Amino acid sequence: GDSVTQMEGPVTLSEEAFLTINCTYTATGYPSLFWYVQYPGEGLQLLLKATKADDKGSNKGFEATYRKETTSFHLEKGSVQVSDSAVYFCALPYYNQGGKLIFGQGTELSVKP
């Protein structure tokens, strides 16, 4: 069945370091792909999305490219800040099931000054 796998955390980086959080998926068809972020004590916020192969989603300095050939949607940021400390979730919709999203297990990022 459809699934999402993320790299395990926690990931600890120093400020201004380069970030990659890996996400791979298995899916029926070619669904849109999403990254959500959960800051401490808050809910899930949509960070970025890509709707088709080779699309690059970007927001707040984060980027992710929809790679059909490797079934991946890795999240990257060139220079992280302490304020980026959060849990990041990769997600995709179940095939033909609207708003039913499958989430990865989440990757906790901790950025130290």
Which spans of this chain sit near other proteins (rule: CB under 8 A)? 32, 34, 36, 42-46, 49, 89, 91, 93, 97-106
Choose between 32 and 71: whose C-beta lies nearer to other proteins.
32
Closest CA to 10 of 102, 83, 112: 112
Smallest distance, Å, CB 79 to other proteins?
A: 26
Measured CA to CA, the distance from residue 105 to residue 18 in angstroms comes to: 22
Nearer to other proteins, 45 or 81 (CB): 45
Q: What angle do CA 51, 53, 58 make, to 5 degrees?
A: 55
Q: Are 10 and 110 in contact (CB under 8 A)?
A: yes
Shortest CB 60 distance to other proteins, Å = 14
Residues in the chain: 113
Nearer to other proteins, 14 or 53 (CB): 53
Nearer to other proteins, 2 or 76 (CB): 2
Least gap, CB of 95 to other proteins (angstroms): 11
Q: How far is the CB of 44 from other proteins (least distance, A)?
A: 4
Task: Write out the DSSP string of 4-35.
Answer: EEE--S-EEEETT--EEE-EEEE-SS---EEE
